[in-house]
Structure 1
């Protein structure tokens, strides 16, 4: 216990130290410091991205993916690989902050989600290519995230739920549906570098009556574990190229600092704050998408269809749990 207590308290600091050593080796011997100067926009973007991506269940990839695909003009597949690699640092740092501050999480559902979503990721990586263009993908998920944020806000704005992880019993059929949804979330994550965190948060809130203060750190841990597993897989498959490493050299110091701040800040301010921050974030990113793409009627119609179907799906999931707030 004498040795474990200081190590337990300093886990996040030790992780940051080793990340900085790795970053220094990467920058000095592989990418060079010029890559940091060339990608300063990405570094600044990920200051906000790491903070809000950890403070809400949308992940840092929700900022990194559009920056890379629309400003840097890199392919969506390469952007997804970077998002996962970047989140393996930022979300892992956030997970250690959750661990050291003993924030409540749903360990049982986290375990099932990580297993099934990683299987979905594996399947999509090798057998299910992304069916959308970069623009279509952005419109699709911006619309889904808007519906998701609005649905959570509308469903929970008048509820008072106890901060617990044991409100709703996880029975057989409910678990099977949960597994199927997480499997689909893993497929989405292979396309855009995040998504399972949003799906997991949504199901915890709407199907299992978890609070935002429990669901958010739980979603962060899921995204950290999936990002780590996916990044190891991408490295072994040769999907991590020099450009991805250059982007990492510009973002690792940023995300390991700002991501833990986000989760601690949001949980400290409570469930209502998380809902409002989430809604504000999805509205802002949807407005940017609208300005960029809705001059084309096809994208506008796609957005309207996705929002309508997403509301139906999300409220159907919410109706599964008929328990009233206590």
Structure 2
């Protein structure tokens, strides 16, 4: 008999009712904004970001990457917009796409590592506003772009040499819950205050790395968990920006054009990837993460030079060394748990 918490189980319209209500409220509000403000020309002027976010929103729902992971390089590298605009757009667009995907995940009762997630959201409530207010304003635009490029290149490298192993995990390793409180809180505080506040993305990748490397988590647990954390972090980021410094000029126009795409695209990604498998998607996205790194270096070569390239490559190496430390610790405690109980396997709860 199939597990009712499995994503493979087909759900009826009744189970998806909260998601349909969300879509009705969102599209009603979006249409009211467009009509009342006569923003039809704005939509035409910014159709490019809407097209780009078709792929971005698919990635947001099917991988541990926020939609801003595509939106940021498109805006900064292709459209040559300021990095601060790319960061604020990431927060804004993910507050729709990742929220939509999170509601869809909850309706489908997909397993989520809720104990760690709760503490990560709590840490983000403190860390992200502190980073936005006290760190991000002092970070130069070039550094924002390089931090983004380094973080996601590191993600790509990790998957190119560990993808087969990561995709074989089932459930959670025995004893994985011992890390819930401390790991979740540190992820929220540190990743929220640093990489997320600077680039608008990244906290989802951090919790994903902890889950798959330290806790040996199944991708069907790790990815939904990372999606929900990025949704919460984006809402915190947008609220903090609106209540303090305000979003960068140009964010609203790009958001207005792309928001309808991501509201549907991110949940669609979560649905489609269950049919085609996560390995092909993660492999392609990992390659793109590495490509955007070298694209950024080429675009900023005049400012970076050989010294800057060396520093950026050093950052990728440092991140992957950190991943290796997590992997080795996870392997040790996984083997210890299996020796004590060879049949042990921890499952994540589909609902909090």
Pairwise same-fold verdict (TM > 0.5):
yes
Aligned to 1:112: 119
Conserved? CA contact 2:132–2:241, under 8 Å: no
Task: Write out aligned runs for 1:174-213 (5 A).
Answer: 175-187=181-193, 188-213=195-220
Task: Write out aligned runs for 1:60-99 (5 A).
Answer: 60-99=67-106
Aligned to 2:299: 292
Residue 146 of structure 2, aligned match among 139, 154, 173: 139
CA apart distance, 1:201: 0.7
CA apart distance, 1:73: 4.2
Aligned to 1:311: 320
Distance in 2 between residues matched to 1:124 and 1:134, nearest whole Å: 15
Distance in 2 between residues matched to 1:122 and 1:294, nearest whole Å: 32
Distance in 2 between residues matched to 1:240 and 1:139, nearest whole Å: 21
Aligned to 2:132: 125
Deviations 1:127-159 (A, max 9, x none): 223554333322333223222232244335246
CA apart distance, 1:25: 1.7
CA apart distance, 1:7: 5.0
Change in 2 beyond 3 A, CA 1:87/1:56: same
- Is 1:320 the counterpart of 2:317 in the alignment? no
Task: Write out aligned runs for 1:41-52 (5 A).
Answer: 41-52=48-59
Distance in 1 between residues matched to 2:248 and 2:148, nearest whole Å: 26
- RMSD over aligned CA atoms reads 2.6
Query: What 5-or-longer segments of structure 1 have no aligned partner?
Result: none
Deviations 1:171-201 (A, max 9, x none): 26x7434432332210221111111111111
Distance in 2 between residues matched to 1:48 and 1:31, nearest whole Å: 27
Change in 2 beyond 3 A, CA 1:268/1:74: same
Conserved? CA contact 2:102–2:224, under 8 Å: yes
CA apart distance, 1:169: 2.8
Structure 1 moving runs of 4+ over 6 Å: none
Residue 30 of structure 1, aligned match among 25, 37, 42: 37
Change in 2 beyond 3 A, CA 1:171/1:231: same
CA apart distance, 1:8: 3.4
Conserved? CA contact 1:69–1:134, under 8 Å: no
TM-score, with length taken from structure 2: 0.82
Conserved? CA contact 1:168–1:209, under 8 Å: no
Deviations 1:30-62 (A, max 9, x none): 361111111111111111111112221121111
Aligned to 1:259: 266
Conserved? CA contact 1:194–1:223, under 8 Å: yes
Deviations 1:262-317 (A, max 9, x none): 12222444453454244233233224224323463233112211122112111112
Deviations 1:227-268 (A, max 9, x none): 123222322335136632222210111111211111222244
TM-score, with length taken from structure 1: 0.88
- Is 1:56 the counterpart of 2:71 in the alignment? no
